[in-house]
Structure 1
Amino acid sequence: MHKHDQENEQKLVAITGANRGLGLAMSVRCAALGWSVIAGCRRPSEATDLQRLAQKHIASVDIVECDVLSEASIVQFAAKVAVARPHLDLLVNNAGYLDRSDPRLDDAKSVSVTTAFQVNALAPLLLTRELLPQLRAAPMSRIANISSAMGCLGLEQRPDSYGYRMSKAALNMFTVNLASELASTNIVVLALHPGWVKTDMGGTVAPVHVEDAVAGLLEQMMTADKGRSGRIVRYDGMLLPY
C-alpha cells in the first residue's frame, strides 16, 4: 500500500474539467480512494456521468460550476473550495482546449489560439492564485498542471496545433516559475504529461487507457517530493525536457 493510500481521509482534491475524459476518471478514482472531491465543470446540469458519481458518493463528491474562460467563475469556484475545508491537498488544473480545425499555420485562427491560452495557461494561473492560501494551509500540498509533451520545446515536434502547443509550453513555464516562487513552502508543483490517452480529445486510436493514465498521474502527484517540483513528468514517472 502506498503512503497516499494510508491518508485518504485527510485528502481534499479540486479538479477542473471534471465532466469527461481525464478529469472524470480522476474524480472517479479519487472518490474510490475515499477522498473528498470538488469537481469543477462548465455546465453541471449537463454532466450526467459526473452527476451519477456524485449520487454514488453523496458525502464526498461535490459538483461546482467552473467556467475556466471566466475569471469571475474561477473566483467563485475557489471560494466554494475554501468553504469546504480550510486546507486543500491537491489542485488538478485539468481543463483543456484543443481545436482540431487549425492544424497548420494557414489555418490558425485568432479566436482559437486565444481560447487555447485562456483555458490551458491563464486559467491554471488564476485558479492557483485564488487557492494558494488553502494550499499553503495543508501539511504538504500539490499543484498538478495537466500539460502535454506537445508543449515541450526539447522534444521533436510536428508543425501542427499551434495554439495547443504554444499554450502548453506556456503552462510548462508557469509550472517552472511557480515552483521557484514556492520553493521554500510545503507545495510541490508539477506539469504532468498523461500520454496519448483514449479520451474525446485523444481519440480512439490513442494507445493509453484513461484508467492507466489516471492511476499513473495520481501516483506521480502524491509521491513527488520537492526535488521534482517544477519538472515535467510523464504518467509513468519519466522526466521530460522543457
Structure 2
Amino acid sequence: MSESTMGRIAVVTGAGRGIGLELTGQLLEGGATVFAGTRGAPSTELSSLAAKHGDRLQPLVMDVADDEAVAEGARTVAGRVDHVDLLINNAGVYPEDSGGLERLDLDAMRQGFEVNTLGPLRVTRAFLPLMRLGSERKIFHITSLMGSIGDNSSGGSYAYRVSKTGLNMVSLNLSHELRAEGFVVLTIHPGWVQTRMGSDAAPLTVGASAAGILQVIDRSTTEDSGSFRSWDGRPLPY
C-alpha cells in the first residue's frame, strides 16, 4: 500500500462480505479511515475489523437501492468528517435469471438496475459534495466483464449483464462530467473471484483481487479517468 493511503477517508459500499469486506480490511491496514456501507446490520467479519481498527472503521447501514437511506448515509458521514477522498461503489447483486428471452424475469431485471446501475448513481450523487472537498477525488465502480458489450460472446444472464452495462455507462458519463474538477472515475472488473457470487471454483482469491484493485486506485491519475480496467490493471473493452 502506498503512503498516499495514510489518512485517506474512504466510503466502500457492499462492505459486509466478499470483495467489499476485503477492500475495507486492506484499506484499514494501509492507514485509511473507512465508512463501510452495508444493507443491514454489520456482518460478524466487519465487526471484527471494527474491534481491531477502532474508530477508523465506521459501519454505515445504507441500502443503495433506497433513495432516503443513501441520503441519510451521506448526512451521517458529513456529520463525522469534513471530506471524502475515495468512493468505491462495490455493492451489487446477481439477480435470479430464469434463462432466455421467453422465460426472462422482468422483476429480476428491475432489481439488477436498482442495485447495480442506479445504486452507484445514487451514492455518487449523495457523496459528491464531500468528495469535492477531498484531495484525491477518486470514484471507482466495481463492475464485471459480463457487462462488456465488446466481450459478450455467449449471451445469457440478461439481468446481470444489462445492469452492469448500465453501470459502465454511468461510470463513463461521470468521468466526462467530472473531469474538469480533477476527478478520477474508473470502472473495474474484479476478476472471477472466490466469493459467494463467484463460487469456490473461481481461480482468484478475494485478497489478490482486492490488492490489485487498490494498486490500480493508487496508481490512477486524471489521464486514466474513463477507462475500464481489470483488477490487475489491464485495459478492457466497454
Q: Shorter-chain TM-score category? A: over 0.9
Q: Say which of 77, 85, 105 aligns to 1:81.
A: 77
Distance apart, 1:154 and its partner CA: 1.0
Deviation (angstroms), 1:227: 1.2
Q: Distance in 2 between matches of 1:103 and 1:172?
A: 23
Q: TM-score, normalised by structure 1?
A: 0.95
Q: Aligned pair in 2 of structure 1 residues 166, 101: CA closer, same or farther (>3 Å)?
A: closer
Question: Does the Cα contact within 8 Å between 2:13 and 2:88 map onto a contact in 1?
Answer: yes
Residue pair 2:97, 2:158 contacting (<8 A) in 1 also: no
Runs of 4+ in 1 over 4 A off after TM superposition: none
- Asked whether 1:197 is paired with 2:197, we answer no
In 1, Cα distance between equivalents of 2:230 and 2:132:
25
Q: Which amino acid aligns with 2:237?
A: P
> Residue in 2 aligned with 1:14?
11
* 2:40 is the counterpart of 1:43: yes
Question: How far is the alpha carbon of 1:221 from its aligned partner?
Answer: 1.3
User: TM-score w.r.t. structure 2 length?
Assistant: 0.96
1:136-173 Cα deviation digits (max 9, x unpaired): 11122210100111011111332211011001111110
Aligned to 2:52: 56
Q: Which residue of 1 aligns with 2:29?
A: 32
Q: Quick check: 1:152 aligned with 2:154?
A: no
Q: Tell me, which stretches of 5 or more residues in structure 2 are unaligned?
A: none
Question: Identity across aligned pairs (percent)?
Answer: 36
**Helix, strand or coil at the partner of 1:64:** strand
* d(CA) in 1 for partners of 2:51, 2:100: 43
Q: Corresponding residue for 2:204? A: 208
Contact 1:139 1:186 in 2 (8 A): no
Mapped to 2, the partners of 1:237 and 1:84 lie a distance apart of 33
State the 1:186 CA deviation: 2.1
Q: Contact 2:34–2:58 at 8 Å: present in 1 too?
A: yes
- Contact 1:13–1:91, Cα closer than 8 Å, also in 2: yes
Match of 1:72 in 2: 68
Q: Which amino acid aligns with 1:116?
A: G
